[in-house]
């Protein structure tokens, strides 16, 4: 799979708000592809997008968890805030903890 071409495809799908097709890329073996899918879902912002992003904050891959935290921060809903606060309490990775703190800060600034 050509990662750059896949990321371009994800970005085009985001422009068309094709949530279901973007969600399929969340399970990609390439971290960059999963992160691109999370970023795309953050721009779509529908219920399926938010739920899928929230589920990815429990990923085994720290970079994916950090990207999910950032995406939830961009969405900025109370649901996103609650999910981030819950995850912050059990997160062990310092990079992900920082991403969660940053996301919560972004949400707080939006109010």
Tens digits of residue pLDDT in 32-42: 999 999 999 99
User: Using CB atoms within 10 A of its CB, is residue 42 exposed (0-12), middle (13-18) or buried (19+)?
Assistant: buried
- The torsion defined by the Cα of 91, 95, 100 and 103, in degrees rounded to 10, comes to -170
Domains of the chain (ranges; CATH) run 3-110 (1.25.10.10)
Q: Is the pLDDT of residue 111 over 80?
A: no
Beta-carbon contacts of 26 under 8 Å, excluding residues fewer than 6 positions away, are 34, 37, 38, 52, 56
Q: Report pLDDT for 61.
A: 96
- pTM of the complete model: 0.93
Average pLDDT, the chain: 94
Q: H-helix or E-strand containing 2?
A: none
Q: Which residues contact 106 (CB under 8 A, 6 or more apart)?
A: 73, 74, 76
The confidence score (pLDDT) of residue 110 equals: 81
In this predicted structure, what is the pLDDT of residue 52? 96
């Amino acid at each position: 799979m050509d990662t750059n071409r896949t990321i371009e495809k994800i970005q085009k799908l985001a422009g068309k708000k094709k949530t279901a097709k973007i969600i399929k890329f969340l399970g990609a073996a390439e971290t960059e592809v999963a992160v691109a899918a999370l970023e795309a879902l953050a721009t779509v912002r529908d219920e399926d997008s938010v739920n899928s992003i929230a589920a990815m904050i429990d990923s085994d891959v720290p970079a994916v968890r950090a990207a999910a935290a950032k995406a939830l921060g961009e969405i900025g809903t109370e649901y996103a805030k609650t999910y981030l606060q819950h995850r912050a309490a059990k997160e062990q990775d310092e990079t992900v903890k920082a991403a969660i703190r940053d996301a919560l800060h972004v949400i707080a600034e939006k109010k």
